[in-house]
Chain A
Amino acid sequence: AQSVTQLDSQVPVFEEAPVELRCNYSSSVSVYLFWYVQYPNQGLQLLLKYLSGSTLVKGINGFEAEFNKSQTSFHLRKPSVHISDTAEYFCAVSDSETGTASKLTFGTGTRLQVTL
């Protein structure tokens, strides 16, 4: 069984400030890791994914995340946020042994609120 913990339910930040959204996971098997973003009344859009290789992953909209196997973490970062980054962010894992089409297990989400 797998689980994902997003410790911060809400993260307020001023525009142009850096931000980090935390994600920790638990799994008995190797995993793939994902960050999705959800804007109001919309579906989920992939920000970035870690499948293998370099532990620092760069995604869209200037976001990046670092996979830390020893700490079972996959924190999301952005050096300078914009008002348009205000959204709900979800961390997710899947079983790498059954491929990227395998079911996703999501965290409860972190609401990023960017203000002027």
Chain B
Amino acid sequence: DAGVTQSPTHLIKTRGQQVTLRCSPKSGHDTVSWYQQALGQGPQFIFQYYEEEERQRGNFPDRFSGHQFPNYSSELNVNALWLGDSALYLCASSSVGGFDEQFFGPGTRLTVL
């Protein structure tokens, strides 16, 4: 079992650009959550996808959007990047109705210049 995988590992963008991050959940999991972890901070919940729909959303602007595919993998898109979007973006997978904890991937480090 490969666990939760994320790509790319690192990414450098400039202000105003758009970025897409990808996540494949742990085998058997149907739910994907995205978190933003700024330097020196705890992760902040962005949103969660289940059955290809956004199930919960945190306090993030509409510039942050996502998608879930039929195979449960997910993408996080961020438009109009600004310096404050520089962070580690973590994907976590889980199973609705189960009692497993959320399993986290290694993250994508995004740097906005």
Q: Which segment, of A14-22, A73-81, A102-110, faces chain B?
A: A102-110
B-chain residues with CB within 8 Å of residue A4 when the two chains form the complex: 42
- Residue contact A42 to B44, C-beta cutoff 8 Å: no
Interface size class of B (residues with CB under 8 A): 20 to 34
- Residue B58 lies at the interface, judged by CB distance under 8 Å to chain A: yes
Min distance, Cβ B40 to any Cβ of chain A, angstroms: 8
Knowing A103-B33, A105-B45, A106-B44, the reply to whether A43 touches B105 (Cβ < 8 A) is: yes
Min distance, Cβ A71 to any Cβ of chain B, angstroms: 21
Name the interface residues of B95-113: CB closer than 8 Å to any CB of A. 95-107
Instruction: Count residues of A near B (Cβ-Cβ below 8 Å).
Output: 23
Among A44, A107, A109, the residue within 8 A (CB) of B104 is A44
The CA-CA distance from A92 to B103 in the complex, in Å, is: 13
Knowing A104-B45, A106-B44, the reply to whether A46 touches B106 (Cβ < 8 A) is: no
- Residue contact A100 to B104, C-beta cutoff 8 Å: no
Q: Interface residues, chain B, CB within 8 Å of chain A?
A: 4, 31, 33, 35, 40-45, 48, 50, 56, 58, 90, 92, 94-107
Lowest 8 A-B CB distances belong to which pairs? A106-B42, A101-B94, A43-B104, A44-B104, A103-B45, A43-B106, A46-B101, A101-B96
